Amino acid sequence: MPAQEPTFTPPAQPVPLAALLGRPDLGLRLLAGAATGPEDVHVHWVHTSEMADPYPYLLGGELLMTAGVQLTDPERYVERVVEAGAAALGFGVTPVYDTVPAALVAACDRAGLPLVEVPPDTPFTAVARAVWRLMAEARHRELRRVTEAQQSLATAAARPAPVPAVLGALASRLGGRAVLFAADGTEYATAGRPVPPEAAGALRELAGVVGPRPGGPASASGDGGGLRLAAYALGGGEGLTLGVAAERRETADHTIAGVAVVLLSLLTAPHRGADASVRDAALVRLLLGAPPAEAAAPLGPGPWSVVHARGGDGTPFAAGALAAALGTALVAGDESPADEGAEPGEARGPGPAGSRPRGVVRLLVPASAGARAQDGWVLGVSAPVAAEELAVGDAQAARALARAEALRVGLVRHRVAGIGGLVDGDEADAYARSLLAPLTPPLVGTLRAWLSLHGNWDRTAVALDIHRNTVRQRVARCAALLGRDLDDADVRMELWFALGRLPD
């Protein structure tokens, strides 16, 4: 039977087999099968099996590891591994075989299946760990590249001629050409390196596929003139399409192009008055990391609501659609990687106090418009704040989102203090600092979340992204340091009041 394509592609970056072979600590040696070179073979994961027929247990794309415990028919074994779509076969010498069987080497050569010899002093788990680490490093490089591109595109959007500047930044980041097509297929604006006529024509045809007709696709990809092509429909009702031509197409390229689509959609939207232009410029400054007070003047006095959202499909297109549904512009997104050195499956430790969780989209909405629940999203909404108080609203929205996720509801709004406002503010602040002084910031954050969720261990663990046993340990530590009985309702009320007086 012919080799099958892998039936499932994991979300992580695959690892070139050549990268594994190049690690001296593993001592791997390629014996057969990689006729086009190990750099063209990519491993999606590692699987160990000593079954005589591993086919039913493979998903495709694996580096299959075996010591040949039940290897009786090498030809049939290799045939089944190839049918399953495995990327390569790793054979461990000893304790069953002293050398890789010659019949297995010959079968792999005939089938074109890369065969790797694993020396006796290299455990299979060491190979698996190396694959996961290489995947994590690739993911971190991709995230850094996307982050740098976002900054570059946002900077370009703040320039006097933003549309050509954004196209130029995109073409530079992707190493190719970016074209903005009008609805009739003519070039509205271009930037980057010239491309062969064949590629230019193919890109124009591809852009026509994603036109504004109802039900049409939002994006399409293809090849032409030896280049990789992609086209993206812009929002805003003008029928514009972004076309990109480059020599390569990586996962990050699609994300970077998506950021450009969001910015270009805002910049080319019809009926943009002076107020909208000024507001978008201020939002871009926030996206670039400007202090809220510095960007506040163009925004006007407000009041504003800060919204934190998690959901969608993780692409800038989904975030842009959410922004449009709420009647605003995208402020920022956080796609920070997990802790450095963490292995797959390991829990991430809690971040700094007040830090935003991974994968959060942040938006700024006029308080008068109000934020409404959106299908497929979980929203946390701050209380109305003035432009110079956006940092306060940001912290409120983060806590509201954590509470919404813990309660499994679509939207939670920050609740403004009620009866606590009747107490003298300075005295209440001093008492709160004194009462909670023994607690470290992580303990304060845990106690706040635990009390807000009525002492529910599981929901608190979800809100803080930590294990429930960690929640129990921290709450017990709080009780010991404070010398209070946290099962007492009066104590809980007093602590909740004190926590409300602490700065965000």
The two tokens of residue 352 are 């700094």
Question: Residue 357: pLDDT band by 50, 70, 90 thresholds?
Answer: very low
Question: Is 2 among the domain residues?
Answer: no
Residues 256 and 289 grouped into a single domain? no
pLDDT tens across 385-396, in order?
A: 887 777 788 888
Q: Which residue from 249, 262, 243 is spatially nearest to 317, judged by alpha carbons? A: 262
**388 exposure class (CB count in 10 Å sphere: 0-12, 13-18, 19+):** middle
Q: What angle do CA 432, 437, 442 make, to 5 degrees?
A: 105
If one counts the domains in the chain, the total is 4
Q: Does 369 share its domain with 435?
A: no
In a domain, 450, yes or no: yes
Q: What is the pLDDT of residues 114-146, one digit of tens each?
A: 999 999 999 999 999 999 999 988 888 888 888
Region 274-300: mean pLDDT is 58
Statement to judge: residues 225 and 286 lie in one domain: no
Q: What type of residue sits at position 63?
A: L
- Quick one: 256 and 279 in the same domain? no
Same domain for 301 and 436?
Answer: no
CA–CA separation, 81 vs 474, rounded Å? 49
- Together in a domain, 78 and 187: no
In this structure, the answer to whether residues 430 and 410 fall within a common structural domain is no
Asked whether residue 161 falls in the same domain as residue 216, the answer is yes
> How far is residue 372's CA from residue 397's CA, in Å, rounded to a whole number?
14
Q: Is the peptide bond before 123 cis (omega within 30 degrees of 0)?
A: no
Q: 411 with 442, same domain?
A: no
Same domain, 295 and 403: yes
Contacts of 189 (CB under 8 A, 6+ apart): 163, 164, 167, 179, 180
Q: What does pTM read for this prediction?
A: 0.53
Omega of the bond leading into 303 within 30 degrees of 0 (cis) = yes
Domain membership of residue 96 (yes or no) is yes
Residue 473: name the closest of 457, 454, 495, 459 by CA: 457
CB atoms within 10 A of CB 201: 13
Same domain, 220 and 300: no
What is the predicted pLDDT for the residue at 351? 32
Own/partner pairs for 451-454, CB < 8 Å, 24+ apart? 451/492, 451/495, 451/496, 451/499, 452/399, 452/403, 452/496, 453/403, 453/406, 453/407
pLDDT of 296: 56
Judge if 99 and 193 occupy the same domain: no
DSSP H stretches of helix in 175-308: 197-209, 251-267, 274-287, 292-299
